[in-house]
Amino acid sequence: TVSVLYWKPLTVQGMASVPQPDESTLDEPVIDTLCRDLRAIGRKVAIVALPMLGGENELRDWDLWGPLVLCMILAMILGGSAGSDQGSLVFVAVFIAVSLGSAVVTLNAKFLGARLSFFQIVCVLGYCTAPHVIAAMIALFVKKYWYVKLALAVLAFAWSTYGSLRFFRGVVPDDRQALVVYPLGLFYFFLAWMLSVGI
């Protein structure tokens, strides 16, 4: 005889729930899975792009596909703008800067007592690069006007920093909040600087 084990969803503070056996998506067609994941990425980008919509808790249900896609788009835009001789170098530099910067800011937040998992913080930081990606797309059309690019970079910096700070409210002790904000601001400032000089 074969025994089947059934369990209730296990939910831990700050963790995703384990699905029940009847909620499995293993037999789902690949196109359905892709569409579902793309819709989830779109919802999370919209939450960052339009902070007034709320929905901060949706980003705590982490995934790394969205941050990866946003990082790749930003790296491709900046790498493509650099020209053929330095394009691949700029692409790699942006990719490493986003990955390493996210990891450093995440470790800093964890050491300061953030009550989110490592991957939840990386997910939030990755999705909050969406304003930089939007600014980079717009900057492609206004390359000649340095002051417009600078304004876009400043706006992307402010937007990303504000968007990510909303998710850290209440999960970092109040007396340590400034210690989280400083490296977070440096991370998004560096991306904004790359955006303003790279296109």
CA 121 to CA 40: how far, in whole Å? 17
pLDDT for 22: 53
**How many CB atoms within 10 Å of residue 25?**
10
Is 17 contained in some domain?
no
pLDDT for 168: 79
Burial class (CB in 10 A: 0-12, 13-18, 19+), 157: buried
Q: Is the pTM of this model over 0.95?
A: no
Provide the b/e sequence for 93-131 (b: ≥16 CB within 10 Å). bbbebbeebbeebbebbeebebebbeebbbbbbbbbbbb
Q: What is the pLDDT of residues 31-52, one digit of tens each?
A: 988 888 888 888 888 888 777 7
pLDDT for 187: 94
Q: What is the pLDDT along the chain (199 residues), one digit of tens a residue?
A: 444 444 445 455 555 555 555 555 677 888 988 888 888 888 888 888 777 766 666 666 788 888 999 999 999 999 888 877 888 898 999 999 999 999 999 999 999 888 888 898 898 899 999 999 999 999 988 888 888 999 999 999 999 998 888 887 778 888 888 888 899 999 999 999 998 887 6
Is 6 contained in some domain?
no
CA 40 to CA 199: how far, in whole Å? 30
Q: How many domains is the chain built from?
A: 1
Is 89 contained in some domain?
yes
Is 18 contained in some domain?
no
Domain range spanning residue 175?
27-198
pLDDT for 104: 94
Query: Around 33, how many Cα atoms within 13 Å sit in the side-chain half-sphere?
Result: 8
Is 13 contained in some domain?
no
Is 106 contained in some domain?
yes
Is 10 contained in some domain?
no
Is 1 contained in some domain?
no
